[in-house]
């Protein structure tokens, strides 16, 4: 007798609650990337007695890369550890709870060390924050595919990204009021000491982030009983394995087949390239605006990018349901390449006063439009790529495959600040090399990803509302 088929249905409420772990991670990451490069630049310029910020960017890049190197090794390790963990709280939740608490405690000590003019204290606290965060980042991300059948994971990933980007947008909103130009630079434009250098306001972005991280963790731990959910979803997970869109069947405790391994390698390489491309702009954007073009509304541009990504997950799901995840990712890459390439030609010298735009304030609106387009592209990429990687995992090694995904992305984020920091030190390139660097790497990622083979089932009906997150 043929076994009855289990109907797969995503639990939206539960998936949204799981997304609160990602909310805390993205909020922390946004605050970290907004303020830490400027904090390091200011401290290094003082210690080295230099006045040009470009002279210290190569060191800033190395320090930022050292943080990511910890993540490069920790993400796979803690992914594998959580795969093997058995406790009454589940295999992922213990890491999420402890890691969130430690990260939230350590985060406000970064501006404290900065206020006391301690370079080494700042670096040590930055490292601690990254170590604590990366101890739970892999388990937090792996929790979703643990309890979500494979055909529904792209839909679930869209919902989780939706919650996560709310955290990023909130961090960006904070940066609008607590700007690095006003509060985190030691000298005013007149070369006089900045009276707000040790102001209590420099602590606010970090304290608010820590408090919201703790609140989101409490909500997650309160509402998610990991072991109970695993038992409830057992039959659905088995059906999900039968409906998985992979070239070759995935079997427990067996290595990937030749075609699946080929796809996996291509995806990991492409992930490395597009994270290197995106992180180049993400890491140095605040410094680029603060020291190169004197554009104080850079946090608004970052917010626009995050909002554009947030509202693009539904269209990404609709599009992927029609043309497939592979082509949705490739379109996303194109939507990143074009605006980032165009940003290279935008500067006050070209478009500002005396240039093509009579009022330099209009530069901000141009950046907002271009960053919005890039945000749409980045959403298309991220909504589909992670589910394509864990599609190749069995129920026993999701953390391992998640670790491979993040190891690739973190390796990119380790190397990019160093390489770009060195290029910026050159008088020939300086800050202007940032956008071409990003655009070229995005193009390379598109070339590699083009060769990924995608198995497509019968086209599905395009759905509306939350159902549009389905990308199977």
pLDDT in tens, 102-131: 999 999 999 888 888 888 999 999 989 988
Q: What distances in angstroms separate CA 50 from CA 36, 55, 429, one per listed residue?
A: 19, 7, 19
Q: What is the 3-state secondary structure (H, E, C) of 9-43?
A: CCCHHHHHHHHHHHHHHHHHHHHHHHHHHHHHHHH
* pLDDT at residue 261, as a whole number: 87
Report d(CA 429, CA 412) in Å as an integer: 21
* pLDDT at residue 243, as a whole number: 65
* pLDDT at residue 185, as a whole number: 66
Runs of H (alpha helix) within 344-361: 348-351
Residue 367: φ, ψ to 5°: -60, -40
Beta carbons within 10 angstroms of residue 193's beta carbon: 9
Whole-structure pTM value? 0.73
* pLDDT at residue 445, as a whole number: 96
* pLDDT at residue 285, as a whole number: 76
pLDDT by residue (tens digit) across 382-435?
A: 888 888 888 887 767 888 888 888 889 888 888 887 888 788 776 666 777 888
Low-confidence stretches of the chain (pLDDT < 50) are: 1-4, 187-188, 191-193, 195, 349-360, 458-472
Q: Taking phi first (over 0 means left), then psi (-120 to 50 degrees means alpha), and beta for anything else, what does residue 197 get? A: alpha
* pLDDT at residue 55, as a whole number: 74
* pLDDT at residue 444, as a whole number: 96
* pLDDT at residue 296, as a whole number: 63
> Is residue 421 within 8 Å of 57, Cβ to Cβ?
yes
Report d(CA 108, CA 97) in Å as an integer: 18
* pLDDT at residue 204, as a whole number: 86
């Amino acid at each position: 007798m043929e076994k009855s088929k289990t109907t797969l249905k995503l639990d939206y409420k539960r998936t949204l609650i799981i997304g609160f772990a990602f909310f805390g991670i993205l909020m922390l990451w946004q605050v970290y990337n907004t303020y830490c490069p400027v904090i390091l630049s200011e401290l290094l310029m003082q210690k080295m007695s230099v006045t040009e910020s470009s002279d210290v960017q190569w060191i800033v890049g190395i320090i930022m890369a050292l943080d990511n190197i910890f993540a490069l090794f920790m993400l796979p390790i803690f992914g594998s550890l959580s795969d093997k963990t058995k406790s009454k709280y589940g295999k992922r939740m213990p890491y999420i709870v402890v890691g969130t608490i430690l990260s939230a405690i350590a985060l406000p000590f970064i501006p404290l060390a900065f206020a006391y003019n301690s370079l080494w204290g700042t670096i040590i606290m930055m490292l601690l924050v990254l170590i604590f965060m990366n101890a739970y980042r892999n388990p937090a991300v792996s929790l979703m595919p643990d309890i979500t059948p494979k055909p529904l994971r792209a839909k679930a990933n869209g919902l989780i990204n939706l919650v996560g980007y709310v955290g990023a947008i909130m961090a960006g909103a904070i940066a609008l009021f607590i700007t690095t130009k006003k509060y985190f630079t030691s000298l005013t434009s007149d070369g006089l000491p900045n009276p707000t250098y040790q102001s209590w306001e420099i602590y606010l972005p970090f304290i608010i982030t820590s408090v919201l991280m703790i609140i989101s963790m409490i909500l997650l731990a309160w509402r998610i009983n990991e072991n109970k959910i695993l038992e409830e979803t057992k039959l659905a997970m088995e059906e999900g394995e039968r409906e998985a869109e992979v070239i070759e069947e995935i079997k427990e405790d067996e290595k990937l087949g030749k075609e699946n391994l080929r796809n996996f390698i291509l995806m990991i390489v492409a992930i490395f390239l597009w994270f290197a491309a995106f992180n180049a702009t993400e890491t140095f954007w605040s410094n680029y605006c603060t020291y190169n073009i004197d554009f104080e509304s850079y946090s608004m541009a970052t917010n626009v990018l995050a909002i554009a990504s947030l509202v693009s997950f539904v269209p990404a799901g609709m599009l992927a349901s029609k043309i497939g995840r592979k082509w949705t990712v490739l379109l996303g890459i194109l939507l990143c390449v074009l605006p980032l390439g165009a940003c290279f030609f935008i500067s006050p010298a070209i478009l500002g006063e005396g240039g093509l735009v009579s009022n330099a304030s209009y530069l901000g609106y141009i950046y907002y439009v271009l960053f919005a387009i890039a945000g749409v592209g980045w959403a298309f990429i991220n909504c589909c790529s992670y589910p394509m990687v864990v599609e190749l995992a069995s129920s026993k090694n999701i953390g391992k495959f998640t670790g491979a995904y993040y190891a690739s992305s973190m390796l990119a984020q380790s190397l990019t600040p160093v390489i770009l920091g060195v290029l910026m030190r050159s008088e020939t390139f300086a800050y202007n090399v940032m956008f071409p660097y990003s655009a070229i790497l995005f193009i390379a990622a598109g070339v590699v990803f083009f060769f990924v083979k995608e198995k497509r089932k019968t086209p599905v009906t395009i759905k509306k509302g939350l159902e549009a997150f389905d990308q199977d």
